[in-house]
Amino acid sequence: MFNDDFFDDDFRDIDDLLIEFQKVKRGEPHGLITEEDFEYLIDFFESNCDKENCLIACDISTTLYPFSSTLFLRKAEWLMDQKKYGQALKVLDQIDEIDPHNIECIFLKSDILLEQNRFAEAVHLLEQYVDKFESVDKTDILLELSEIYDELEDFDNVYYSLKRILKYEPSNEDALLRICFWAEINNKHEDSIQLHQEIIEETPFNAMAWYNLGVAYQGIKLYEKSIDAYEYCLAIDDKFEYAYRNQGDAYMQMKQFDKAIEVLEMHLNIAKPEDVILDAIGYCWDKQKEYAKARQYYRRASQLNPQDDQIFFKIGETYTKELQWEKAVKAYSVALHINKNNASYCMALGNCLMEMNADKEALVCYINAVQLRPDIKSTWQALVKALYMSNYLDDALTQLAIAEEHCGHKTEFIYYKAVILMAKGKTKEAVIYLENALIENTKKVSALAFIDKEIAHHPVFEEVLIRYKKKK
């Protein structure tokens, strides 16, 4: 029996509650312990890892308050934490009897099924309740479903779960944020365009919907329409960082680099500087042949991300375009120091060293490139050309033979042999190789100029080329 004078509305001291709880356990007369008090006791026992009293408190509380879905839920949660899934589900079934549409009960059942890897049952459970709820609860169920479908790698249903939310709640931020990504993953760009057009008709000042529309247009390469959508997005929210970023990319795809720079600079004005944005601006200046300005932004990007070897490679490329070989070598060397296994960096460095007449150092770079990527034709081409230019003609022929072992038969290699044999004074063999190469693929004749720009004007080669043109 309860002592009514024990009850008051002030905060209950845990020591008082524990005394009353012990009386209940012993079957003695006790003061009132409310539902909230039992929740407090359960939390106390759980935080002190007192499993025995925690379970007793759960059992007593649900006996004293048999219609309290809150206490039954607390008991089910505790049983779940103890991995007593079967018992927890039985408790949740009891909640169904007293509170058939308790959303927390449904989610807890789903969580238990997921803990047991019973994904299909969890999906079935949630799907059967979706249309029984409205507003927030319905949205929460669909968001939970989208996450389960993600776990199941059923990506189409991830997208459609989010779409179902937006059909009745077009401004739901969670769904709008996530559906953009899943539309891209599932290649649902056209469907996304239609969906977001409908959303915009209903909520025309929905910045996120305009942004998603822009992404969808961009996904099918309708860049002008995507730019327009981003413009509307930014007119509503001029601090929408990703709209500037994506609009800049759309302008870059259209090769309108001046407009891309303008948009990306606006991004820098409203957001913390990022290496990817600075890198993109550098790229735009690079494409406009403003190499000094390009380097300025590449260097700023490298300060934010000093381990990005690609940025230093791009700096080297700008110097190469300006024929500033020594500065290019320094930039390529930094890139190669960060990433020692990049064959392209070795080749770029070798090319600069050849221009600086540092042939032996260049050959080391080309050999490294070949060792890193023996399956790539371009690495062998660079090595063979360097050997030829350094007058290591026998070595050049040897490397061509090895190149064929790794890359297979290539017409370009036949042209190279013709040039090398001519340089060795083996005119007849050179002519035979040249004729064979022309028969095999005349379109590859530019391979001659790759290895020796003047060789096509050699009297013997010139005669063969003229003769072959007449025959053709």
pLDDT reported for residue 6? 38
Of 447, 401, 402, 455, the residue nearest 424 (C-alpha): 455
pLDDT reported for residue 229? 98
Taking the mean position of all CA atoms in its chain, how far away is CA 65? Answer: 51
Gap between the Cα atoms of 278 and 265, Å rounded: 9
Of 108, 81, 78, 103, the residue nearest 92 (C-alpha): 108
pTM: 0.80
Residue 321 lies in a domain: no
**Taking phi first (over 0 means left), then psi (-120 to 50 degrees means alpha), and beta for anything else, what does residue 409 get?**
beta
Residue 98 lies in a domain: yes
Gap between the Cα atoms of 305 and 325, Å rounded: 25
Instruction: Name the token pair of 346.
Output: 């070795």
Count: domains in the chain: 2
**CA dist 61 to 12, 69, 161, 439, Å?**
17, 11, 38, 94
| Last residue within a domain, chosen from 68, 102, 117 | 117
Residue 102 lies in a domain: yes
**Using CB atoms within 10 A of its CB, is residue 379 exposed (0-12), middle (13-18) or buried (19+)?**
buried
As beta bridge partners, residue 2 has 30
Residue 266 lies in a domain: no
Residue 402 lies in a domain: no
Gap between the Cα atoms of 328 and 430, Å rounded: 37
Of 279, 217, 204, 275, the residue nearest 243 (C-alpha): 217
CATH value at residue 112: 1.25.40.10
| Last residue within a domain, chosen from 77, 95, 117 | 117
Name the residue range of residue 37's domain.
Answer: 1-117
One digit per residue, the tens of pLDDT, for the chain of length 472 reads: 334 443 444 446 777 777 666 666 766 566 566 777 777 777 777 766 767 777 777 777 777 777 877 778 888 887 888 788 888 888 888 887 777 778 888 888 888 999 888 998 999 999 988 888 877 889 999 999 999 999 999 999 999 999 999 999 999 999 999 999 999 999 999 999 999 999 999 999 999 999 999 999 999 999 999 999 999 999 999 999 999 999 999 999 999 999 999 999 999 999 999 999 999 999 999 999 999 999 999 999 999 999 999 999 999 999 999 999 999 999 999 999 999 999 999 999 999 999 999 999 999 999 999 999 999 999 999 999 999 999 999 999 999 999 999 999 999 999 999 999 999 999 999 999 999 999 999 999 999 999 999 998 999 999 999 888 777 6
| Last residue within a domain, chosen from 77, 98, 117 | 117
Taking the mean position of all CA atoms in its chain, how far away is CA 204? Answer: 30
Residue 246 lies in a domain: no
Residue 219 lies in a domain: no
Residue 194 lies in a domain: no
Instruction: Name the token pair of 360.
Output: 């032996």
Gap between the Cα atoms of 283 and 315, Å rounded: 10
- CA within 13 Å, CB half, 283: 17
